[in-house]
Amino acid sequence: MPVQRHPTTSKTAFPPGGASASPMIHLSRGRTLYEGGSMKYAAFAALLFLTFAASADFNRTTSLIDIPKAEVLPHGVVKGGVSVSLSEDGPSREENFNLSLGLFDRVEVSLGVLSREAVEVNLVWKVLEEGRGPALAIGVWDITTEEYVSDPGFGSNAYSDELAYGTNRAREQFSGFCVLSKKIVPFASLHAGLGRGRFVGWGPRSKHFKVGDEPNSAVALFFGVDAELWPGFRLMGELDGRDVNVGMKYSMQWFEMGFAVTKLEHFMFDSPDYFTRFVVGGSVNLQAFKRVPAKPPVVEAPLAGSISGMVMDGESWEPIEASVNVLGTDMIAYSDVYDGSFSIEDLSPGLYVVEVAAIGYKVKTFSITVEPGKATVEDFFLSPVEPAKEEPKEKLVIDVRVYFETNRAEFTRESLQALELVARLLEQNPKARVEIRGYTDSVGSSEYNVILSRERAGAVKTYLVDVHGIDPGRLKAEGYGEANPIGDNGTREGRTRNRRVEFEVIE
């Protein structure tokens, strides 16, 4: 049978393979601090010249325009921003600064200086990565000792539409939120969440987006969408308890510029006392100027090899229809139902671990060495799953494994056949209850590995429930971290085998 390839799950071969009064114009600039050359200073100086009509929107690094997204800066990345605004609404001039730091690809901490006299701290924690479900983040903005916080500063330094709330103005101090972000189509993402403080409005329309009658305990809904219509060009729209904002951004290799219209509700509903604000923004990403090391010398790749053979019943020598999966690669073949033959080609030379699985048989793994330009012939003999000696009609054995990539809770595409087998067995045994046991290799702390293994077991449970309609009450997902290894964690082969989920019939 021909080999099937899954390019979206390509892996390295094992182990070789190598957001007012009159309209205003505003520009803010942000920068990521990396090593670079002279061009970055010229770009930085040009942006500095343009910032004399700037505002604080686009200032936070992981916001859409003025609402949060479930994103944080990568670990170790520092991004700074400065903004200056001129407006007839509130203070005549506003100068804001922001400095953010990403930690562990999960946490972002930022320091904001509002109008050079008010200091705040912002914190975002990315709880879940986006997978089959949305990404989830929680956070707190405007961490400060002052109760009322606005882009122009503290207390009465705010825009007139915010001051018009009077005693209904919620304390923006400690504006907590939670937000979900999910890619709904390949080029567009949706963001939705709940927040208190700065997200709660009491205007004639925005009051309908809140829950609660006491300003400081009320929460409000916010949501937004951004779409990349063509490479580098994005449209954005958002709504929270105070503002309706739309905008666009265009990103080049090292420069990003944006335009937005904020407080758009004043235009749509013809508010006589408040006006729409216009926002122009720009940023320089100096990561593009990071020095690129010299290209290594081109080494001619060795000749590829192949694995072929047959899969047969270990007792009767009859051919078996089975999957032959080369672990650590995107290579998987299926043996012919009539003669048991299979073939996997274009394998780089080296040592591989091959897993052979068939319905009704025990899963087996084999170590095979592929030599350059040679065809390795190997026949595999599988043992039937023996029925339990006690209660043979009710005892169920699910001797299959689901494998995962390093540091991820999304199973590999090659494991889908194993999951289909598990679903079929559960459908055939409607009274059976199964514990889904998640494991990891030994890389990382024990505490983290327990969490990761629990997420892996949960991902398998979600698949069986959502795709095959298995009763969730029949499934128990547990994580055991790096316990019970089946391979040597000192080798890549062993770690590949240890990143798995197993099934244990408990009733």
pLDDT digits (tens, 9 = 90+) for 98-110: 777 888 888 988 8
Which of residues 361, 386, 411 is at a domain's end?
Answer: 386
- Tell me, yes or no, whether 29 lies in a domain: no
Which of residues 268, 288, 308 is at a domain's end?
Answer: 288
Tens digits of per-residue pLDDT, 307-334? 999 999 988 899 999 999 999 888 899 9
Which alpha helices (DSSP H) does 11-115 contain, by range?
39-50
Tens digits of per-residue pLDDT, 414-463? 888 888 889 988 998 988 999 999 999 988 898 999 999 999 999 999 99
Looking at residue 282, its pLDDT comes to 66
Ramachandran bin of 142, using left for φ above 0, alpha for ψ from -120 to 50, beta for the remaining angles: left
For residue 446, what is the enclosing H or E element? helix 446-468
Which of residues 288, 320, 346 is at a domain's end?
Answer: 288
- Tell me, yes or no, whether 295 lies in a domain: no
Contact by Cβ (8 Å): 170, 200: yes
Q: Are residues 100 and 200 in the same domain?
A: yes
Beta bridge partners of 195: 177, 220
Q: Are residues 329 and 414 in the same domain?
A: no
Alpha-carbon gap, residue 336 to 47, rounded angstroms: 65
The DSSP result for 205-217, as a single string, is TGGGGEE-SSTTT
Q: Are residues 420 and 382 in the same domain?
A: no
Tens digits of per-residue pLDDT, 198-257? 888 766 666 667 777 787 778 888 888 988 877 778 888 888 777 788 888 887 655 677
Q: Are residues 242 and 172 in the same domain?
A: yes
Which range is least confidently modeled, 86-90, 143-147, 243-247, 277-281?
86-90
CA nearest to 10, candidates 498, 405, 500, 401? 405
Looking at residue 100, its pLDDT comes to 77
Tens digits of per-residue pLDDT, 471-502? 999 999 999 999 999 989 889 888 888 999 99
CA nearest to 173, candidates 145, 194, 202? 145
Q: Are residues 205 and 304 in the same domain?
A: no
Contact by Cβ (8 Å): 312, 381: yes
Residue 296, number of CB atoms within 10 A of its CB: 6
Q: Are residues 144 and 240 in the same domain?
A: yes
Looking at residue 463, its pLDDT comes to 92
Q: Are residues 379 and 411 in the same domain?
A: no
The rounded mean pLDDT for the chain is 76
Look up the CATH number of the domain holding residue 172: 2.40.160.40
Looking at residue 169, its pLDDT comes to 80
Q: Regarding beta strands 244-251 and 350-357, do their DSSP bridges make them parallel or antiparallel, or are they unpaired?
A: unpaired
Tens digits of per-residue pLDDT, 49-98? 333 333 334 544 446 777 888 888 788 777 766 665 655 555 555 666 67
- Tell me, yes or no, whether 25 lies in a domain: no
Q: Is the dihedral of CA 176, 217, 172, 234 positive or negative?
A: positive
Q: Are residues 282 and 323 in the same domain?
A: no
Report how many domains make up the chain: 3
Give the mean model confidence (pLDDT) for residues 171-190: 84
- Tell me, yes or no, whether 28 lies in a domain: no
Contact by Cβ (8 Å): 336, 319: yes
Tens digits of per-residue pLDDT, 16-40? 333 333 333 333 333 333 334 444 4
DSSP structure class, residue 266: H
Q: Look at 334 and 41; give whichever has higher pLDDT.
A: 334
Residue 286, number of CB atoms within 10 A of its CB: 20
Q: Are residues 93 and 173 in the same domain?
A: yes
What phi and psi, each to the nearest 5 degrees, are found at residue 97? -130, 150
Tens digits of per-residue pLDDT, 388-428? 555 545 578 888 888 888 888 888 878 888 888 899 889 98
Looking at residue 356, its pLDDT comes to 93
Looking at residue 15, its pLDDT comes to 32
**pTM of the full structure:** 0.46
The parent domain of residue 103 ranges over 35-288
Alpha-carbon gap, residue 160 to 60, rounded angstroms: 23
* Residues in CB range of 506: below 8 A, 6 or more apart: 433, 434, 435, 476
- Tell me, yes or no, whether 3 lies in a domain: yes
pLDDT value at 353 more than 70: yes
Q: Report the helix count and the strand count for the chain, using DSSP H and E.
A: 6, 29
